[in-house]
Amino acid sequence: MVTSLQDLNDQLAHCDSETDPEYINRLDRAFHGLIFGASGNDALVWTIDRVKNSFPMYALWREPGRVLTNRSEHTTIRMP
């Protein structure tokens, strides 16, 4: 799982404010989906998915510097 998280985060490193926000969103959701899925709690995963689907994430990725900040935040996640 750690390798998959790193791969997704590396792909985010190649994105910027000009990158298709839907593509960025897919990478970010895949990253978080791996973490949420590892909980083994299907109700949690379902709930988070519903909340994320109700928010216009594309607007987030147009915020200047947000993609870089997002990648930096992902990098701080430590696995046991």
State the pLDDT at residue 80: 60
CB 27 within 8 Å of CB 8? yes
State the pLDDT at residue 48: 92
Tokens of 50: 């519903």
Tell me: the pLDDT tens digits for 19-74?
Answer: 888 899 899 999 999 999 999 999 999 999 999 888 777 777 778 888 888 888 88
What is the arithmetic mean of pLDDT over 5-28? 88
* 80 inside domain: no
User: Could you give the angle at the alpha carbon of 18 between the alpha carbons of 3 and 8, nearest 5°?
Assistant: 5
* 68 inside domain: yes
State the pLDDT at residue 2: 85
Residue 19 sits in which domain range? Answer: 2-75
Query: Domains in the chain: how many in total?
Result: 1
pTM here is 0.81
* 19 inside domain: yes
